[in-house]
């Protein structure tokens, strides 16, 4: 059965899955419609297919199976549509003035003659243009939403599809649904494959097989790999697509002929790369070799005597390995310093800064994230920047190759020595661009812990460079006296060595009370314990404020102890909306002022501003892992204002809120992108560990 009518009011909506109950009015009657209705608001006109059902409690309802959104026709419907939050910059008052002026011609005016909107009080020529563009985009995006929703693909991807393919998006996707895997939107391949099969693409279609191979190679990058062993790749694709091995082998040949993949045989195995990954990996190797072989090595001739001066002035005693590390840096253009927490990496960096700057050399410090850069500044006393800012990266192209905002590509960094901390976080694309921006005579020092999780992006750069043995490397393994007083650091090394946490009887006098292990019998009791620690107990223990000093870590996103559920619980306990401030639902979450949030993907185009002592700094780019606080939800302009920990303030359109998540709790993998724990920084980390047999909670105080 088909009905056509207007949504009068939204009675209920589940923001997670878009299940909606709404008042619906047709020419014949008023009724209630129920179903999964994404992006539906009061004022929308729908053509819905379904059937009337009898609800035990609420009576007769129309259950929607499929629906199509129609352009509103009446003045009343148009006014509701404009006022319901769809159009940027248009609220109830302005919507009323527009419709009062143009009536049922409003839609036509907005689409075809938007300059006439400027006749209305409160609308400039620029705003008239913005309203028109927002209306057209909103409508086009909606058409894509309706199309994708039929195949179970979420609404969050519609805008990205529109931005890439514009008004021809549906036509192009119908022609080749597998185009969607190149968007890096997080759309599951099985959903895309289901769409393709329903549209009529056969099981053994070349597009299907080639896309399955590319998907498998993209998937391997989630674990830090840049390639896949051919036999493993074939087995994965065979299971994924349920096709014969010969078809997959033919697909590999076709992709190779199209220059979309590279095939390399070595060490009794065949490796398959996406072309851009192979090319970047090869470029890294070439650039490092050139840097190594450069004869212009900026040495300090009297390095041993300088080391003695450093020890005397700083009142420290460098270990033999630390001295060897500094001498190695002095003698080579590329050096790696690796070691776990408390092994003296920061002392080496500070010593290098002192020695080289005293000799008139320019030292530049950098780290992959804002937090890591801030921590580097605090520990060394010298300003450090993010790699993105140092390289002036403005955006990333379709091939994952970095572009910058300098006058020309790869403008060299003005430095005699560049020191990069937290190298385990650096992926292959960022590493390649860094090397591209170095003079041949510039020293490069890479510092990090190879035992940390691999970078979120493709390539385990630090670990692979160490294992290649092509770069002079110092492995630090001695835990220094101050660090050895920390149970956190001692236990970190024990875990890395496959040992248990320190027991009470193993503890020596003088150890800091900075690590506690709390065992609980159920996940429910763990949640209660976490809430108790975050909302009161830690404040009483050490005057720790949640928003300043505490971070909850968990291994997973799903489940009672996953980030999704913990964030909901902690938000309601720590930031309830008691003042009825504006808030915005997105992706199953409610965002409100005061929320702690994290950027979850690199956005090179978002603009930000930062107040400094002297002026206002402007820039672009917010990157995966940066944490901040929502300052404001602007319902009129459809924007959220976020202030990040490095003081920059960015505005997010409501359509872009899928780029941030609550960060009351974050995954352990995300945590590797920030220096959450360092000796005596007054922070507390609460981490969870869950399996089928036990539930444990670790509380790291003064971590």
Query: How many CB atoms are closer than 10 A to CB 255?
Result: 23
Helices (H) and strands (E) in the chain, counts: 25, 30
Residues in the chain: 703
Comparing CA positions, the residue from 506, 474, 469, 470 lying closest to residue 487 is 506
Whether 183 and 161 have beta carbons less than 8 Å apart is answered as: yes
Average pLDDT over residues 358-367: 93
Q: How do residues 44-72 score in pLDDT, each as one tens digit? A: 888 888 999 998 888 899 999 888 888 88
Per-residue pLDDT at 694 exceeds 70: no
The pLDDT tens digits of the residues spanning 455-479 come to: 667 888 999 999 999 999 999 987 7
Whether the per-residue pLDDT at 339 is higher than 80: the answer is yes
Confidence of residue 626 (pLDDT cuts 50, 70, 90): confident
Calculate what percentage of the chain has a pLDDT beyond 70. 87
461-492: b (≥16 Cβ within 10 Å) or e: bbbbbbeeeebbbbebeebbeebbbbbbbbbb
Residue 680 scores a pLDDT above 50 = no
Half-sphere exposure of 244 (CA within 13 A, CB side): 5
Rounded Cα distance between 203 and 242, Å, is 8
> What is the rounded CA–CA span in Å between residue 382 and residue 365?
8
Residue 653's pLDDT is what? 86
pLDDT: is 630 or 516 the higher one? 630
- Kindly compute the dihedral angle of the four CA atoms of residues 604, 215, 172, 394, in this order, to the nearest 10 degrees: 10
Per-chain mean pLDDT for the chain: 83
| 3-state secondary structure (DSSP) of residue 194 | helix
d(CA 140, CA 144): 7
pLDDT score recorded for residue 688: 57
- Greater model confidence, 404 or 313: 313
Q: Which helix or strand (DSSP H or E) is residue 584 part of? A: strand 584-586
Dihedral angle of Cα 218, 223, 224, 229, to the nearest 10 degrees: -70
CA distances to 12, 409, 589, 697 from 666, rounded to whole Å, are: 29, 36, 15, 15
Cβ proximity of 366 and 373 under 8 Å: yes
Higher-pLDDT residue of 373 and 158 is: 373
Q: Which residues pair with 269 in a beta bridge?
A: 266
Closest CA to 3 of 35, 27, 34: 27
Identify the pLDDT of residue 408: 44
- Long-range interactions of 632-637: CB distance < 8 A, separation 24+: 632/593, 633/581, 633/582, 633/583, 633/584, 633/591, 633/592, 633/593, 634/582, 635/85, 635/91, 635/582, 635/584, 636/89, 636/91, 637/88, 637/89
Q: What is the pLDDT of residue 540?
A: 78
146 touches 139 (CB < 8 A): no
> By the 8 A CB rule, do 334 and 442 touch?
no
Span 669-682, mean pLDDT? Answer: 47
Neighbours of 309 (CB within 10 A): 13
Global pTM reads: 0.72
Rounded mean pLDDT, 344-359: 92
pLDDT tops 60 at residue 593: yes
Tens-digit pLDDT profile for residues 80-109: 888 877 787 788 889 999 999 999 999 999
Say whether 350 sits in a helix, a strand or coil. helix
What phi and psi, each to the nearest 5 degrees, are found at residue 89? 85, 0
Structural contact between residues 371 and 627, judged by C-beta atoms closer than 8 angstroms: yes
Predicted pLDDT of residue 403: 53
pLDDT at residue 702 is higher than 50: no
Lowest mean pLDDT, pick from 297-301, 468-472, 529-533: 297-301
pLDDT, position 440: 81
Q: Which of 604, 589, 573 is nearest to 660 (CA)?
A: 589
Cβ burial of 251 (10 Å; 0-12, 13-18, 19+) is buried
Enclosing H/E stretch for 250: helix 245-257
Q: What pLDDT was estimated at residue 703? A: 31
- Decide: helix, strand or coil at residue 443: strand
- Band the pLDDT of 399: cuts 50, 70, 90: very low
Burial class (CB in 10 A: 0-12, 13-18, 19+), 696: middle
Q: Cα(236)–Cα(252) distance, rounded to whole angstroms?
A: 13
Instruction: For CA atoms 233, 234, 235, 237, give the dihedral sign.
Output: positive
> Given this model, what pLDDT does residue 319 score?
87
- Give the burial string for 525-543 (b: 16+ CB within 10 Å, else e): ebbebbbebbeeebeeeee
| Cα torsion through 196, 201, 207, 208, rounded to 10 | 60
Nearest to 655 by CA among 599, 584, 600: 584
């Amino acid at each position: 059965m088909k009905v056509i009518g207007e949504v009068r009011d939204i009675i209920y909506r589940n923001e997670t899955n878009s299940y909606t109950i709404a008042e619906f009015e047709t020419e014949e009657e008023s009724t209630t419609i129920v179903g999964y209705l994404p992006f539906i608001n009061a004022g929308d006109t729908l053509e819905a297919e379904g059937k009337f059902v009898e609800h035990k409690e609420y009576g007769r309802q129309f259950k929607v199976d499929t629906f199509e959104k129609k352009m509103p026709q009446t003045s009343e419907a148009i006014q509701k549509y404009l006022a319901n939050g769809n159009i940027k910059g248009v609220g109830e008052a302005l919507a009323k003035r527009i419709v009062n002026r143009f009536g049922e011609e409003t839609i036509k005016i907005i689409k075809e003659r938007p300059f006439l909107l400027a006749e209305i009080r409160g609308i400039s020529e620029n705003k008239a243009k913005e309203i028109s563009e927002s209306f057209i985009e909103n409508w086009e995006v909606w058409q894509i939403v309706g199309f994708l929703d039929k195949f179970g693909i979420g609404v969050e991807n519609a805008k990205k599809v529109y931005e890439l393919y514009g008004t021809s998006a549906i036509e192009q996707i119908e022609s080749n649904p597998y185009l969607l895997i190149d968007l890096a939107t997080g759309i599951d391949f099985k959903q895309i494959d289901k769409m393709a099969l329903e549209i009529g693409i056969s099981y053994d279609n070349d597009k299907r097989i080639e896309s399955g191979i590319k998907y498998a190679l993209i998937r391997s990058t989630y674990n830090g790999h840049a390639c896949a062993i051919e036999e493993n790749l074939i087995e994965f694709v065979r299971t994924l697509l349920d096709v014969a091995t010969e078809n997959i082998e033919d697909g590999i040949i076709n992709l190779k002929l199209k220059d979309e993949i590279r095939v390399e045989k070595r060490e009794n195995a065949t490796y398959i790369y996406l072309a851009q990954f192979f090319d970047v990996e090869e470029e890294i190797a070439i650039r490092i070799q050139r840097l190594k072989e450069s004869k212009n090595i900026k040495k300090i001739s009297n390095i041993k005597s300088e080391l003695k001066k450093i020890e005397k002035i700083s009142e420290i005693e460098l270990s033999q390995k630390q001295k060897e590390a500094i001498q190695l840096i002095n003698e080579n253009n590329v050096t790696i310093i690796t070691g776990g927490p408390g092994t003296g990496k920061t002392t080496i960096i500070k010593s290098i800064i002192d020695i080289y700057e005293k000799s008139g050399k320019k030292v530049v410090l950098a780290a992959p994230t804002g937090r890591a850069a801030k921590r580097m500044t605090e520990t060394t006393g010298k300003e450090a920047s993010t790699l993105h800012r140092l390289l002036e990266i403005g955006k990333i192209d379709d091939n994952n190759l970095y572009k910058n905002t300098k006058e020309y590509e790869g403008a060299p960094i003005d430095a005699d020595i560049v020191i990069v901390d937290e190298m385990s976080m650096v992926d292959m694309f960022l590493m390649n661009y860094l090397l591209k921006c170095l003079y041949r005579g510039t020293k490069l020092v890479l510092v990090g812990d190879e035992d940390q999780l691999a970078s979120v992006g493709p390539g385990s750069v630090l670990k692979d460079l160490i294992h290649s043995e092509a770069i002079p490397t110092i492995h630090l393994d001695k835990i220094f006296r101050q660090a050895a007083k920390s149970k956190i650091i001692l236990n970190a090394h024990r875990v890395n060595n496959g040992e248990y946490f320190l027991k009470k009887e193993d503890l020596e006098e003088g150890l800091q009370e900075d690590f506690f292990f709390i065992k609980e019998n159920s996940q429910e009791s763990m949640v209660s314990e976490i809430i108790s620690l975050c909302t009161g107990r830690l404040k009483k223990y050490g005057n720790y404020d949640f928003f300043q000093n505490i971070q909850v870590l968990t291994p997973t996103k799903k489940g009672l102890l996953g980030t999704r559920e913990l964030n909901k619980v902690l938000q309601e306990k720590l930031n309830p909306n008691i003042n009825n401030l504006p808030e915005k639902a997105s992706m199953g979450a409610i965002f409100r002022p005061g929320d702690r949030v994290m950027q979850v993907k690199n956005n090179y185009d978002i603009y930000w501003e930062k107040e400094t002592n002297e002026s206002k700094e402007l820039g672009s780019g917010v990157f995966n892992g940066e944490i901040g606080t929502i300052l404001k939800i602007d319902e009129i302009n459809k924007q959220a204002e976020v202030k990040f920990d490095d003081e920059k303030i960015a505005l997010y359109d409501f359509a872009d809120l899928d780029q941030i998540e609550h960060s009351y709790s974050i995954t352990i993998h995300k945590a590797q992108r920030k220096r959450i724990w360092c000796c005596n920084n007054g922070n507390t980390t609460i981490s969870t560990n869950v399996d089928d047999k036990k539930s444990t909670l670790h509380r790291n105080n003064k971590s």
